[in-house]
Amino acid sequence: MGTKPLSGTENDTDDADLLRADSLAREIFSDVANKWALLIIETIGDRTRRFTELRNDIEGISHKMLTQNLRMLERNGLIERTVHPTVPPRVDYTLTEAGHGLRATVDGMCDWTHRFLSHIDDARRRFDAPVNG
Amino acid sequence: MGTKPLSGTENDTDDADLLRADSLAREIFSDVANKWALLIIETIGDRTRRFTELRNDIEGISHKMLTQNLRMLERNGLIERTVHPTVPPRVDYTLTEAGHGLRATVDGMCDWTHRFLSHIDDARRRFDAPVNG
DNA sequence: CTGGATCCAGCTCGATACTG
DNA sequence: CAGTATCGAGCTGGATCCAG
């Protein structure tokens, strides 16, 4: 709301148009539309999570990818990083308001994934079917 | 529906859990959570689009990436590919029901991007601020 | 524990050429 | 127009080491 006209009459690609027209929007979209970023956002959720917790909970993510994406998300103001000056160090990550907003859409995507899971599985099998004669 | 328990009591990462527990879900998520796939879904929208139209409308996408992602989306049953046996050939792409479902969530992400655009821009500037003394 | 830096194998992607 | 195949530069990402 606010800046966006949102005609809604017959323009069926308004959102995509905005991504096309605005290079900053496109840049943000590119940052955010990757599996590690979305998985991190989703995994933090409502909680306060520590680096190692995330590392353990996100299967397959490497130290480097986690660090890198965490920095990127922090830079974009999607997560907040709190350093506790203890020893050993303790660093907490939480979602910001913007982060929670994104999380809502990722929730939708997770939901979608599970709704169409078997449908997609079928489609794959059909597509991958041997070209037997 | 069906296979998903969905407690809803205090589990704040149920969606992420499902992505973690189910390797197929994770695989689908990984396929779909990339910028080109989402941009293609969003650009097709409600319309019937041709290869070259998509190529022209999605700024920065290469012939190869478009082909590759189109195949992947078709394999997952998210888009339908229709070949018209004319000359020159004409191939139409439309979203399937599953594709439209995904599109809805991408719409949400586009919307989010624009809602938090200036917020994110600010956060970036703060983060990138020169470490002047 | 957190995280920066480096090394390098492997994959990604763009360019190009070729088919129907 | 749509699509496949190939090649090579460059980026990605995992492993590892070091530091606070």
Q: Round to whole Å and give the CA distance between A95 and B13.
A: 13
Cross-strand partners of B103:
none
Residue A3, min C-alpha distance to chain B (Å): 9
Three-state DSSP string of A10-24: CCCCHHHHHHHHCHH
Domain-wise residue ranges, chain B = 37-127
| Closest alpha carbon within chain B to A37 | B33
Which pLDDT value is given to residue B23? 87
Residue A1, min C-alpha distance to chain B (Å): 7
pLDDT digits (tens, 9 = 90+) for A1-18: 434 443 333 445 567 776
**Beta carbon of A67 within 7 Å of strand C?**
yes
Q: Do B105 and A101 touch (CB under 8 A)?
A: no
- Stretches where chain A sits below pLDDT 50 are 1-11, 133
Q: Do B45 and A127 touch (CB under 8 A)?
A: no
* pLDDT band at residue B3 under the 50/70/90 scheme: very low
pLDDT digits (tens, 9 = 90+) for B28-85: 999 999 999 999 999 999 999 999 999 999 999 999 999 999 999 999 999 999 999 9
The average confidence (pLDDT) of chain B is: 88
- Structure-token match 């601020």, residue found: B129
- The CATH number of B37-127 is 1.10.10.10
* pLDDT band at residue B103 under the 50/70/90 scheme: very high
Which pLDDT value is given to residue B84? 96
Residues of chain A found within 8 Å of residue B13, distances taken between Cβ atoms: 42-43, 45, 47
Half-sphere exposure of B11 (CA within 13 A, CB side): 10
Residues of chain B found within 8 Å of residue A54, distances taken between Cβ atoms: none
Residue B102: closest CA among B73, B82, B132, B128: B73
Does residue B97 surpass a pLDDT of 80?
yes
Q: Do A116 and B128 touch (CB under 8 A)?
A: no
A110 phi/psi in degrees, rounded to 5 = -60, -45
* pLDDT band at residue B13 under the 50/70/90 scheme: low
Residues of chain B found within 8 Å of residue A116, distances taken between Cβ atoms: 77, 98, 101-102
Residue A97: CB atoms within 10 Å: 10
pLDDT digits (tens, 9 = 90+) for A83-103: 999 999 999 999 999 999 999
Which pLDDT value is given to residue A1? 43
Give the residue from A9, A19, A23, A58 with the most B CB atoms within 10 Å of its CB, the best one to mutate.
Answer: A19
Find how far residue A24's CA is from the centre of its chain: 17
Which pLDDT value is given to residue B74? 98
Does residue B133 surpass a pLDDT of 70?
no
* pLDDT band at residue B129 under the 50/70/90 scheme: confident
Residues of chain B found within 8 Å of residue A13, distances taken between Cβ atoms: 42-43, 45, 47
pTM for this model (two decimals):
0.89
Which pLDDT value is given to residue A8? 38
Residue A30: closest CA among B34, B114, B124, B122: B34
Q: Round to whole Å and give the CA distance between A89 and A83.
A: 7
Intra-chain end-to-end CA distance of chain B, in Å: 58
